[in-house]
Chains A and B, each alone.
Chain A
Amino acid sequence: EAQVVESGGGWVQPGESLRLSCFASGFIFKYHWMAWIRQAPGKGLEWVAHIKEDTTETYYADSVKGRFTISKDDANNALYLQMNSLRAADTAVYYCVRGGWELDVWGQGTTVTVSS
C-alpha cells in the first residue's frame, strides 16, 4: 500500500526556519511528482509547492516563493520542505501528497505553528 508520512512540524517564532520531511513507502518514489499542500486552522486547502519526478522542475505558490524550498531524495524515498522566514500566516497542517494532478496519496499531516 502506498503511504507517505510527514514529520518535522513544531512551534517556531516569526522569522525562524523549519524543515519538514516526508517518507514514502509502497510505491516507486522516483517516478512520481510530489507536492506539499497546507491547511490553516479551520480553513480550506492551499497548494504550496510541487516537484517533478526527476527534480528538474519545482513550482511554488506566490505566498511562499523565495522562502520555501521543496526537494526530493530518491535514494531515501524522501521529500522535504525547507521553510525560512516563517510568518504567522504559515501556521497550518502541512500535507505531503503524491502526484502532479493526481494527488492520490496523502499523509496524516504535520502541524506548523508560527507565533511569538
Chain B
Amino acid sequence: DVVLTQSPLSLPVTLGQPASISCRSSQSLVYRDGNIYLNWFQQRPGQSPRRLIYKVSNRDSWVPDRFSGSGSGTDFTLKISSVEAEDVGVYYCMVCITPCNGLMQWPPFTFGPGTKLDIK
C-alpha cells in the first residue's frame, strides 16, 4: 500500500513569512496516463475540507496565488509565499492510487496525516 508522509506535522509561522509542507510517498505516483493524481486540501478550524490544489500543481479557482504546489515522483510540496491569518488550519495531501476511476486496486485513496499550520 502507498503511504503518504507529511512534514512537518505542526507548522507555526509568522504572518507574512513563507511556509512549506512536504508530502512524500512510499512509491512513485505516476499513473499510466502520465498524470499524478495528488491533491492538497485545506481544512480551516470548524470547517469542512476544501480542495486547494489538484494534480500536483493546479490551483482551484478560489485559491489565492500565494499558494503553489510542486513535485514529482515521490516528493511533493505545498508552498505559501506569504502566510495570512486565514491560512490557519490543517493541510492534507491525498493521492489516488493507480489506477484511478477505473479498475481500482485496494485501497484506491490515501490521505496524509495532515499538517497543522498556525500563527506564531
Contacts and interface: CB of A to CB of B under 8 A. Distances in A.
B92 to A, nearest CB: 6
Contacts, number: 58
B54 interface: yes
A24 to B, nearest CB: 15
Contact of B54 (A45, A52, A104): A104
Interface residues of B, number: 25
Interface string A42-76: 00111100101000010101100000000000000
Contacts of B106: 62
B49 interface: yes
B71 interface: no
Contact of A101 (B90, B100, B111, B112): B100
Contact of A106 (B50, B107, B109): B50
A59 B99 CA distance: 13
A42 B107 CA distance: 23
A101 B51 contact: no
A45 B111 contact: yes
Q: Which 3 A-B pairs have the closest CB atoms?
A: A101-B96, A100-B101, A47-B109
Given A33-B101, A100-B96, A106-B51, 11 more contacts: A44-B112, A45-B94, A47-B108, A47-B111, A50-B104, A50-B108, A57-B104, A102-B51, A103-B94, A104-B54, A106-B49
